[in-house]
Structure 1
Amino acid sequence: MRDAVTRLLLPLIALTLGLGSGLAIANPPERQDREALRVCADGNNLPFSNEAGEGFENHIAELMAEDLGVPLVHVWAPQVMGFVRNTLELRVCDVMIGAVAGYEFVQNTNAYYRSVYALVVPEASDLEVTSLTDPALAGRRIGVVTETPPLVALRRVGARVESYPLMVDTRVRAPVRDAVEDVVAGNTEGAVLWGPLAGYYAARQDPPLRVIPLVDDDSGARLEYRITMGIRRGEPQWKDWINDFIDRHQEEIEAILVEYGVPLLDRHGQLLTSDPADAGGEP
């Protein structure tokens, strides 16, 4: 289950499926001068990133490049098996803007946001649940990405689960979008999705869908995650710079995330206000 979560959440979220490089060579010295900010990213993975620069990770990368005073360069690769091996480990790029905290194949920076899985329902739905143990879910047809944390809890509570594939080439398929569109079409009564995905796709329906963060869940499923940036090991100065960047620009980063409908949590697991300036605390 933890491996499945990692595969879904890296970007970010959520969504990078890197494995170890397996290279037996010694790491070269850490780079001291950067002629560009080289970002490893998926070119078709909204709301996180795309080649048109429309994702929130694109905008955070722009903020970083501006702070560094260098051009921004993206190295595009679909976030499928081997993403880390073929990008960071080959040293063709230097940072992943989204990496779940604790992911063992990268060096994690400090977290720059926390989010949680959410239930997406039509505006007129009578479902008001904030926990996957709520008996109101029994018998309801609920969409979920297979192998992700909510799946077992939904089955245990008696929901009729409609599953969508986890491991896909984002150039070809968009299972989360499919899950949300099934809610719109009435094929399902709701979908339980990773917060940034839920917020983004729900807001783009006509009329918009309602997003209910599962902040009171007591099912035992791990639904909350801290998101960091991912870099290579053995680069302490680069990590220190990114941590300092996150600290100095936390408010601006939160504003970007709020614009994309990301449900943000504070360090205690409570929802932040919609206005980052009023939120207080770190995600």
Structure 2
Amino acid sequence: MKRNMKQAKSGRMLPSFLALLLGSGLAFNAQANTSTLKVCAASDEMPYSNKQQEGFENQLAKILADTMDRELEFVWSDKAAIFLVTEKLLKNQCDVVMGVDKGDPRVATSDPYYKSGYAFIYPADKGLDIKNWQSPALKDMSKFAIVPGSPSEVMLREIDKYEGNFNYTMSLIGFKSRRNQYVRYAPDLLVSEVVSGKADIAHIWAPEAARYVKSASVPLKMVVSEEIAPTRDGEGVRQQFEQSIAVRSDDQELLKEINTALHKADPKIKAVLKDEGIPLL
């Protein structure tokens, strides 16, 4: 952090004893900070996180802090988790953000602690065999539960199902306008649409769907999409992602400490993810 040079150039000098006291205070604060891990988290965005600490990312944060021998402090945000980096981490209100894509250019990211993907979710008793976006059974379907702006939407356009699905997609959020605002498509709702038969199939990020697939009142099948879905333009669409922990780009010492802790705690981390039902790649 750059110092404020205006006071240093004003010609006014602090008494030496006061400077020593301030220096001691700064050293104390720095030491106190290294004993606490401040994790920015959404206060109500399950299955990732909530203030009751019932999300799987809350559990992973506890494992991380414990492995680092630090006291865990959650810094809560009432906004969606997509705003945690810009409105919390980069404003120095916390030390880390859980669950960001590896290589996110806004931050420095840890070694990935798991990899998963978007997945097709459909009733297990329908005799369907859906493995990818080229599966013939998709041609006979008309209602797809997806999140707009995701790889699912891109692929829905690719198989010429987007326009016919548009009104259904908007009905999932009560036809609210998404202009200039973020509207979350809750994963429990999307899974419940499949359970009730209102949707023929869902295609969403598996880690946020797994808990609800596991607890569904009817058996559901979850099939992870291929890493790169082929498209007509030849570019393809990535559907599998490695998840990391974000720190500020200049916080390299903390990043090293986190990487060491992640490798040490890997069995515990994987146990939480498997218990959640998240398909790991």
Shorter chain as denominator, the TM-score bin is: 0.7 to 0.9
Q: Which has the higher contact order (CA 8 A, sep 6+)?
A: 2
Distance 1:168 1:259, change over 3 A: farther
Measure, in 1, the Cα distance between the counterparts of 2:115 and 2:227: 15
Q: What is the 5 A alignment of 1:44-59? A: 44-59=44-59
For structure 2, the 5+ residue unaligned runs are: 5-25, 231-235
Q: What is the 5 A alignment of 1:11-90? A: 26=2, 33-77=33-77, 78-79=79-80, 82-90=83-91
Measured after TM superposition, the shift of residue 215 of structure 1 is 3.1
Counterpart residue number, 1:234: 250
Q: What is the 5 A alignment of 1:99-110? A: 99-110=100-111
For structure 1, the 5+ residue unaligned runs are: 1-24, 266-283
Counterpart residue number, 2:128: 127
Q: Secondary structure at the match of 2:124?
A: coil
Counterpart residue number, 2:158: 156
Count how many residue pairs are aligned between Structure 1 and Structure 2: 238
Deviations 1:224-271 (A, max 9, x none): 001000011111110001111111111211111011111110xxxxxx
Structure with the largest fraction of helix = 2
Q: Which structure has the larger Rg?
A: 2
CA-based RMSD: 2.6
Counterpart residue number, 1:201: 212
2:227, 2:238 within 8 Å by CA — same for their partners in 1? no
Counterpart residue number, 2:189: 178
Distance 1:87 1:155, change over 3 A: same
Deviations 1:127-166 (A, max 9, x none): 3212112222113122111111121222332445343568
The yes-or-no answer on 1:93 pairing with 2:94 is yes
Identity %: 27
Measure, in 1, the Cα distance between the counterparts of 2:81 and 2:34: 28
Measure, in 1, the Cα distance between the counterparts of 2:83 and 2:208: 22
1:133, 1:217 within 8 Å by CA — same for their partners in 2? no
Deviations 1:155-208 (A, max 9, x none): 332445343568646xxx553222111111111111000010221221121124
Measure, in 2, the Cα distance between the counterparts of 1:246 and 1:139: 44
Measure, in 2, the Cα distance between the counterparts of 1:250 and 1:100: 18
